[in-house]
């Protein structure tokens, strides 16, 4: 059945479209007889206002676009959830795209999003993205952009990120505070800012405890996977003076390390303490449960969404748009994998 329009109702009732329009949104001055007739006709014809026409007329689209590297990822799905909740509370909708960590696809989807007419964009850059001209182009067309998680200083835009430095510092300090002095770190690749921050936090904590960094206690992942954690843990344990603790850049790496340690017959945390990063659900389920640094994914989504909606509003009101830079604290969740026995018992017996 063809979609009914105001005109269809107008013809059926024998009035003009203007009258129908008013009757449908109970205007003050409207004859109750015609109103009834209009309402009845609308019902009968399955009338629903054409949203595009309304939006065009009122110049309010109320849709924002989101680009993440991957949708299937515990961190990003949390971020998306936060974005959607805030946006919907303000009457906005969220269009979702993934870049698959590809620079080319990121360009493609941002342009598609623009072509759809979104009011603004929330973007987490792909690992491959070095140039941000595609985003600057959007800004040139008065489309506000907010970056989150993986950001670029080359773009003049609001940003929301986790405080990776502080999270890593806390994790390392937690190990050092228990009297451990030989703490190793399995770090991420050299490039991305967030893994660099985690490394920096590790070094800063060592320095705070007056411990010089030991190169043999630092390993660098290429792909940040399970297998690397496994291999590097073995490598550490083969050292003449093996570390007493390992801080891993990611939970996947920490899990790999745990497997290696277990296989080597070492007890966690009694022989080697372990801390991961991201606080995946798996941390709680392993034996022993792994300590990890939780990233506030949902909150990052919320704040990024709020910043974007605010900028959209400012732009609409011809107010100056102020960019904000939010850095949200990470939270160390201490579990058994990093608590030395002494911490369980009341005192030395």
CA 206/CA 213 separation, integer angstroms? 7
Does residue 97 sit in helix, strand or coil? strand
DSSP state, residue 112: H
Nearer to a copy of itself by Cβ, of 140 and 238: the residue is 140
Binding residue for a copy of itself, selected from 10, 20, 42, 109, defined by CB under 8 A? 109
Does the bond joining 288 to the residue before it have cis omega, within 30 degrees of 0? yes
Query: Within a 10 A sphere around the Cβ of 305, how many other Cβ atoms?
Result: 30
Enumerate residues 6+ apart whose C-beta is below 8 A from 45. 4, 8, 9, 12
Q: Which does 348 bind (CB under 5 to 8 A by kind): DNA, a copy of itself, none?
A: none
CA 90/CA 219 separation, integer angstroms? 46
- Do 256 and 228 meet the contact criterion of CB atoms below 8 Å apart? yes
State the binding string over 140-179 for a copy of itself (x if CB under 8 A, else -): xxx-------------------------------------
Helix residue ranges, H only, 147-263: 164-177, 193-208, 226-237, 251-263
Binding residue for DNA, selected from 11, 49, 78, 209, defined by CB under 7 A? 49
Helical packing angle, 133-140 and 103-116, nearest 10°: 10
Binders of a copy of itself among residues 274 to 313 (CB under 8 A) are 281-282, 285-287, 298
| 268 belongs to the binding site for a copy of itself (CB under 8 A) | no
Binding residue for DNA, selected from 40, 44, 46, 53, defined by CB under 7 A? 53
Structure tokens at 117: 């007419």
CA 34/CA 141 separation, integer angstroms? 45
Q: Which does 140 bind (CB under 5 to 8 A by kind): DNA, a copy of itself, none?
A: a copy of itself
Least Å distance, CB 57 to DNA, is 4
| 231 belongs to the binding site for a copy of itself (CB under 8 A) | no
Which of these segments, 3-11, 73-81, 91-99, 238-246, binds DNA (CB under 7 A)?
3-11
| 98 belongs to the binding site for a copy of itself (CB under 8 A) | yes
| 59 belongs to the binding site for DNA (CB under 7 A) | yes
CA dist 260 to 237, 247, 256, Å? 9, 14, 6
| 33 belongs to the binding site for DNA (CB under 7 A) | yes
| 323 belongs to the binding site for DNA (CB under 7 A) | no
| 60 belongs to the binding site for DNA (CB under 7 A) | no
Q: Which does 191 bind (CB under 5 to 8 A by kind): DNA, a copy of itself, none?
A: none
Q: Which residues bind DNA (CB under 7 A)?
A: 3, 5-7, 14-19, 21-25, 27-31, 33-35, 47, 49-50, 53-54, 56-59
């Amino acid at each position: 059945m063809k979609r009914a329009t105001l005109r269809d109702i107008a013809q059926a009732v024998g009035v003009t479209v203007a009258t129908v329009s008013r009757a449908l949104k109970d205007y003050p001055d409207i004859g109750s007889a015609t109103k009834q007739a209009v309402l009845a006709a609308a019902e009968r014809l399955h009338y629903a206002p054409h949203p595009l026409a309304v939006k065009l007329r009122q110049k309010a689209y109320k849709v924002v676009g989101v680009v993440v590297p991957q949708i299937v990822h515990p961190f990003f799905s949390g971020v998306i959830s936060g974005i959607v909740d805030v946006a919907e509370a303000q009457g906005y909708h969220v269009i979702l795209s993934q870049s698959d960590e590809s620079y080319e696809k990121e360009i493609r989807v941002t342009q598609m999003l623009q072509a759809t007419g979104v009011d603004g964009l929330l973007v987490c850059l792909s690992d491959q993205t070095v140039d941000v001209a595609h985003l600057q182009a959007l800004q040139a067309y008065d489309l506000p952009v907010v970056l989150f998680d993986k950001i670029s200083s080359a773009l003049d835009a609001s940003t929301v990120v986790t405080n990776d430095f502080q999270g890593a510092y806390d994790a390392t300090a937690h190990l050092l505070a228990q009297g451990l002095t030989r703490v190793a770190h399995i770090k991420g690749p050299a490039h991305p800012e967030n893994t660099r921050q985690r490394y920096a936090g590790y070094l800063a904590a060592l320095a705070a405890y007056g411990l010089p960094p030991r190169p043999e206690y630092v390993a660098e992942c290429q792909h940040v996977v399970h297998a690397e954690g496994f291999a590097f843990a073995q490598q550490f344990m083969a050292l003449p003076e093996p570390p007493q603790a390992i801080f891993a850049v990611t939970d996947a790496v920490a899990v790999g390390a745990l497997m290696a340690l277990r296989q080597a017959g070492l007890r966690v945390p009694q022989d080697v303490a372990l801390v991961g990063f991201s606080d995946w659900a798996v941390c709680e389920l392993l034996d022993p449960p792994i300590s990890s640094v939780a990233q506030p994914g949902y909150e990052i989504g919320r704040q990024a969404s709020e910043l974007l909606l605010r900028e959209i509003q400012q732009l609409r009101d011809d107010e100056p748009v102020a960019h904000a830079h939010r850095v949200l604290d990470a939270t160390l969740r201490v579990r058994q994998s990093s608590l030395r026995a002494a911490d369980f018992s009341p005192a030395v017996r």
